[in-house]
Amino acid sequence: MSGFSRRGFIGSAALGLAAEANAEADQADFSFKNNVPDPLLAGHELPTFKFELEKSIPGKVVGGNNAREATVKQLPISKGIAGVSMRLEPGGLRELHWHATAAEWAYVREGRVRTTVIDPEGNFEVNDFGPGDIWYFPRGHGHALQGLGPGTAHFILIFDNGYFSEFGTFSITDWIGHSPKELVAKNLGLPAELIEKLPREEVYFGRGPAPTGPPGPILHGRLKSPRLTHKYEMLKQGPHSVHAGGREWRVGADRFPISQTVTGVVLELEPGGLRELHWHPTSDEWQYVLSGKVRVTMFGSHGRYRVETLQAGDVGYIPQGYGHSVENASDSQPARLLIGFNTGHYEAIDLSSWIAGNPRSLLENNFRINGAEADQFPRDRVFIAPKAGPPRHKEGYDVFPVAEPDRR
Ligand code: MN
Ligand code: MN
């Protein structure tokens, strides 16, 4: 071994050990990351937290198939979560691939999609999805997506890593196409003529006839189903929180057990409705406006406050722990948002319940008001305020997951 390559070897071995140590630290406790100052969030003003995803140029286009993405490159603040808007024509195929550095969560907006997925235990699942359905593929699990038609399927993908790029995935054609032909022949037992026919470069989007009817048997004929399904029919249920100002569907690991690293929300706001000031102790928040127009506020301490108006197709992002609110900016049209959190175990603290959990005397002192004035604060969590402001008495309800006691 030459001196140079030996140094290189020792260097990379040391790097490997450091990476292993970091990985261990990551698994042990994520909270230390909060202690590392993020230069992007340390300035006198907060950076933008808005990106016009649907107005951006797609990173990939093949026929009627295309994908637009929002990562730290397009939206630097979005370090914890990346998102993709993807469309598949009937028969369009997002080829077999896996993601080395992110789990994938998806919400179908329009059309129908078929997915296949394999897990490390050798279980397979083939599922068909329609509007309002969601899927979750754990980090590294191999999968493919296919447009079933009629019409184009449109879905929003959320990845639990803002540095993850959909265009940096591990695709089957890319892998096989760059492996030595002799190795592929030995591996798969295929004749040379057939290996010659396989693509040499990444296909990414395949095109072909739309499948008709059910998927049919898989190649080896035996379907071994996973213990936990990858599919959840989110909007087929009633909303989980209902208030005069709007309603919310929320699905995390409680209702959809495989989804350990993502919680998904559909938030519907009546005209003028307000999702009150709150923060999330344990996760970042990624927003995509499905319809309407909303005003999102973000508070970052030391008087730093930023407001962005998001239209349909725009993306917003709130870092973990930052105060924020979402308000329907229209007086006549409802607004709908898709929201993703990079945790399967959602947590939030709302301003109204925080205040209501304190003695009157403390509030008098803190806000420099008298007792009668302190009495005017809400007694119950507001959560979603209607246009006219919160009612004096509790309204609305929450449907808690089965695992939790009914606190209504
Ligand atoms: Mn994928
Ligand atoms: Mn939030």
Structural domain of 271: 237-385
Instruction: Give 97 Cα–ligand 1 centroid separation in angstroms.
Output: 6
Mean per-residue pLDDT over the chain, rounded: 90
Pair (242, 347) in one structural domain: yes
Is residue 241 assigned to a domain?
Answer: yes
Pair (275, 368) in one structural domain: yes
- One of 99, 112, 240, 381 is an active-site residue; which one? 99
Is residue 3 assigned to a domain?
Answer: no
Q: Are 323 and 275 in contact (CB under 8 A)?
A: no
The pLDDT-based confidence of 3 (bands split at 50, 70, 90) is: very low
Pair (255, 268) in one structural domain: yes
**Domain-terminating residue out of 195, 210, 232:** 232
Instruction: Give 152 Cα–ligand 2 centroid separation in angstroms.
Output: 31
Q: pTM for this structure?
A: 0.89
Pair (228, 246) in one structural domain: no
> Nearest bound ligand to CA 157?
1
pLDDT, tens only, 83-108: 999 999 999 999 999 999 999 999 99
pLDDT, tens only, 215-259: 888 888 877 889 999 999 999 999 999 999 999 999 999 999 999
User: What HEC string does the chain produce?
Assistant: CCHHHHHHHHHHHHHHHHHHHHHHHHHHCCHHHHHCCCHHHCCCCCCCCEECHHHCCCCEEECCEEEEEECCCCCCCCCCCEEEEEEECCCCEEEEEECCCCCEEEEEEECCEEEEEECCCCCEEEEEECCCEEEEECCCCEEEEEECCCCCEEEEEEECCCCCCHHHCEEHHHHHHHCCHHHHHHHHCCCHHHHHHCCCCCCCEECCCCCCCCCCCCCCCCCCCCCCCCEEEHHHCCCCEEECCEEEEEECCCCCCCCCCCEEEEEEECCCCEEEEEECCCCCEEEEEEECEEEEEEECCCCCEEEEEEECCCEEEECCCCEEEEEECCCCCCEEEEEEECCCCCCCEEHHHHHHCCCHHHHHHHHCCCHHHHCCCCCCCCCEECCCCCCCCCCCEECCCCCCCCCC
Mean pLDDT of 265-284: 98
Q: Are 162 and 70 in contact (CB under 8 A)?
A: no
Q: Within a 10 A sphere around the Cβ of 170, how many other Cβ atoms?
A: 14
Lowest mean pLDDT among 48-57, 199-208, 215-224, 376-385: 215-224
CA dihedral 147, 150, 152, 156 (to 10 degrees): -60
- One of 69, 87, 89, 97 is an active-site residue; which one? 97
pLDDT, tens only, 137-147: 999 999 999 99
Pair (216, 244) in one structural domain: no
Instruction: Give 279 Cα–ligand 2 centroid separation in angstroms.
Output: 6
Mark whether 308 is an active-site residue: no
How much of the chain exceeds pLDDT 70, in percent? 90
Instruction: Give 89 Cα–ligand 1 centroid separation in angstroms.
Output: 17
Q: What is the pLDDT of residue 32?
A: 63
Mark whether 143 is an active-site residue: yes
**Domain-terminating residue out of 197, 232, 267:** 232
- One of 68, 143, 243, 255 is an active-site residue; which one? 143
Q: What is the pLDDT of residue 395?
A: 73
Mark whether 44 is an active-site residue: no
Q: What is the pLDDT of residue 218?
A: 86
Instruction: Give 94 Cα–ligand 1 centroid separation in angstroms.
Output: 8
pLDDT, tens only, 159-175: 999 999 988 899 999 99
Greater confidence, 400 or 1?
Answer: 400
pLDDT, tens only, 21-30: 444 444 555 5
Domain total of the chain: 2
Q: What is the pLDDT of residue 248?
A: 97
Is residue 160 assigned to a domain?
Answer: yes
Instruction: Give 283 Cα–ligand 2 centroid separation in angstroms.
Output: 9
Instruction: Give 158 Cα–ligand 1 centroid separation in angstroms.
Output: 10
- One of 89, 95, 125, 166 is an active-site residue; which one? 166
Is residue 7 assigned to a domain?
Answer: no
> Nearest bound ligand to CA 316?
2
Q: What is the pLDDT of residue 158?
A: 98
Mark whether 166 is an active-site residue: yes
Pair (249, 126) in one structural domain: no
Q: What is the pLDDT of residue 37?
A: 79
